[in-house]
Structure 1
Amino acid sequence: MVVDPAQLRLLALIERHGSLTAAAHALRLTPAAVTQQVAKAERDWQVPLVIRGPRGATLTAAGALLASHGRTVEEASDRAEAELAALLGHLSLRLRIGTFQAAALHLLPPALTALRHRHPDADVSVIDVVSGRGADEISAGRLDVAIVASWGRPLTPPPHVRAHSLLSDPMVVVLPDDHPLATGQPADTELHLEQLRAESWVSILAGHAAREQFHDAAREAGFTPTVRFETESYDVAQALVGTGIAVALVSRLALTHAPGTTHRELARPRPYRQLYAVTKADASLTPLADMLIDLLRDVARDITATWEAPPREEQGSSNSPHGA
């Protein structure tokens, strides 16, 4: 026969409390339900297990033997309950975050500061993760939240993974600060990409979604860009633009205001990348993940508000976010 651990535990409780009524109370059942369970156990084991009397209930020799194993079941159940409570308590304070550098520099710090004020005992860790790997890290259970980007197309996460939209990050043109398109017209003048058809370009490496988006935008503008320099970093791209040898298409969030550069907005429709926070579809065991997403959205709204303010000519800055 298949041993039912619940029957063993029931017999151990009857032995401990000396009555079916007390055992029923411990199990949060009615006395009638316990009586039915005892009858079923005796049918299953095919031997009397409990002797009922005016002063309660005692066990037969067979019942006492099974009850000794029931005590082991009960002890294991108590340990399991305590260990699960400890685990859930730990998970409720744990937050493992993955992000790319521009988001780590501009989106994440204000959100983490606010989170720490609310939960100073939070167990937070942050690692660099390229956007293409973020959803996989969530799916594999190695991260609780990943901040990722998708260039021009909606993110389609794998099953059991949820994408929370944070920010639409437009692409801008970064120019040498002495470029005719920078010096010959007001700073709030929007450029059309076709105005830059004759330029040399610094671009993200071939094979990256940002590079594909750049070539698609150039093709729609009626030209094939002359890419002289390739890099995996928007930081490097802007540093090269500062030498005066090329121009670059860079995410607004990733602007470093590198010395020798300025930037101009593109006329609509402009290329953009969409930033997401990615979590498991069921994040109930990590409640800090939902809190962080709300805080990231607050930060994203603040950043967007500064972008919508009247533009002004940038000054040099030592910030160096990674945009890809």
Structure 2
Amino acid sequence: MFDLHRLRLLRELKHRGTLAAVAAALSYSPSTISQQLSLLESEAGIPLLEHVGRRVRLTAQAEILVAHTEAVLERLEQAEADIATSLTDLTGTLRIASFQSAALALVPNALNLLHRAHPLLRVQFTQMERESAVPALLARDFDLVIDVEYPGIPSPRPAEVEQEDLCDDTLHVAHPDIVDTADPTETLRKLAGQPWIMEPEGTIARRWSMALCREAGFEPDVRYESTDHFLHLRLAEQGHAAALLPGLAWHGRRLTVPVQPLLGVHHRRRLLTAVRRGSGRHPTIKAARQALLQAVDQLVP
């Protein structure tokens, strides 16, 4: 029978990419990881790793082992959920990750609700963009991630992840020169010659922003890049750049720059909660999702 600890190391290598990354994440030395994987190869009786330059990659047989390991870990997640359900109160640690605007608008109220309902539950929170947070969820660095989808820009949906809807968030264009019109596309065209601030290349928000401007008939002059929506808003307020902003970006704050919503369902981003498959039944996950939904209900329109 295969050793589960070694199988998990093989799985970690698949998700983290290098022996050094696995060692750093699990507080082992790379040589220890290598020795354990060599023992797993002996158990399997076949090569599980092959060298590609200075890196290693999984063989086809190793990929088969990882797929079965995922199934075993999913059952263990379910077992953990069943045990936790049998207890009278929630304890332990829940690790949450979220991108900035959802973190500011939703997480503080959700933490208040969780603390009042489950004072023995310890919650850890990390602000992280979804491009990094979802892989970290799969690598078991987090238990729940607030994810986001932008209209018309499909996001990868790993089979090992379960998602539930959280809320929709209307997207807007912001700039001092905006004159409200019935046609947001016309507003975008009038700002075509302005400098723009957008999120960095490679992010889902950047792909959506570029596609929106191109559909309006122009290539935006992107002079500023940041994942910080407060910076987007500040540069728009002072006329340095036009910005495309979600409504949550200024929640609870008075706007000092004209904004125009991009009308229709195709101009709303979708927020979701993502967890590893099999863990959605865990009482702490259920409590966190419920608290986040309540935090959405508490948002002031």
TM superposition score normalised by structure 2: 0.62
SS at match of 1:125: strand
Partner amino acid, structure 2, of 1:172: H
Output aligned runs, 1:1-324, within 5 Å: 92-152=91-151, 153-176=153-176, 179=177, 181=179, 191-192=184-185, 193-255=188-250, 260-268=256-264, 270-283=266-279, 286-303=282-299, 306=301
- What is the distance in 1 between the residues matched to 2:268 and 2:281? 34
Amino acid paired to 1:173:
V
CA distance in 2 between partners of 1:211 and 1:258 (Å):
26
Give secondary structure in 2 for the equivalent of 1:120: coil
Residue 297 of structure 1, CA deviation: 1.9
Distance 1:224 1:117 in 2: 50
Measured against aligned partners, the alpha-carbon deviations of 1:226-263 in whole angstroms (never above 9, x if no partner) come to 22322232211111112222211111111265774231
Deviation at 1:180, TM superposition (A): 5.3
CA gap 1:145/1:238 in 2 versus in 1, 3 angstroms: same
Distance 1:215 1:203 in 2: 9
Between the aligned partners of 1:128 and 1:278, the Cα distance in structure 2 is 15
Which amino acid is 2:124 matched to?
S
C-alpha distance after superposition, 1:79-106 (max 9, x if no partner): xxxxxx89x9798543111112211211
Q: CA deviation at 1:142?
A: 1.9
CA-to-partner distance for each residue in 1:183-221, whole Å, 9 max, x for gaps? xx7xxx663333433333222222222111111111111
Identity across matched positions, percent: 26
Given that 2:101 and 2:229 are in contact with CA atoms closer than 8 Å, whether structure 1 keeps it comes out as no
CA contact (8 A) 1:135 1:157 kept: no
Rounded Cα–Cα distance in structure 2 between residues aligned with 1:154 and 1:264: 25
User: Is contact 1:242-1:258 (8 Å) kept?
Assistant: no
Structure 1 residues 198-207 or 245-254, which shifts more? 198-207
Matching residue's letter, 2:163 = A
Q: Deviations over 1:134-159 (max 9, x none)?
A: 22222222211111222224544323
Q: 1:180 to 1:283 in 2, by over 3 A?
A: closer
Q: 1:91 to 1:291 in 2, by over 3 A?
A: closer
Against the structure 1 CA distance between its residues 285 and 248, is the aligned structure 2 distance closer, same or farther, given a 3 Å change threshold? closer
Aligned residues, how many? 214
Aligned to 2:78: none
Gaps of 5+ in 1: 1-84, 307-324
- Residue 287 of structure 2 aligns with an amino acid whose one-letter code is M
**Gapped regions of structure 2 (runs ≥ 5):** 1-82
1:275 Cα deviation (Å)? 1.3
2:175 is paired with a residue whose SS is strand
1:14 paired residue number: none
Once residues 122 and 223 of structure 1 are traced to their aligned partners in structure 2, the CA distance between those partners, rounded to angstroms, is 51
Asked whether the equivalents of residues 167 and 296 of structure 2 are also in contact (C-alpha less than 8 Å), the reply is: yes
The residue identity in structure 2 corresponding to 1:124 is: V
C-alpha distance in structure 1 between counterparts of 2:138 and 2:202, whole Å: 24
SS of corresponding position for 1:261: coil
Name the CA shift for 1:159/1:109 in 2 (closer, same or farther; >3 Å): same
**3-state secondary structure, aligned to 2:235:** helix
Structure 2 CA distance for partners of 1:294 and 1:180, relative to 1, 3 Å: closer
Aligned equivalent of 1:48: none
Closer/same/farther in 2, CA of residues 116 and 191 from structure 1, 3 Å limit: same
Change (3 A) 1:111 1:232: closer
SS in structure 1 opposite 2:288? helix
Using the alignment, how far apart are the partners of 1:155 and 1:165 within structure 2? 14
Q: Aligned equivalents of 1:296 and 1:156: distance in 2?
A: 23
In structure 1, C-alpha distance between the alignment counterparts of 2:141 and 2:165, rounded to whole Å: 21
The residue identity in structure 2 corresponding to 1:168 is: D
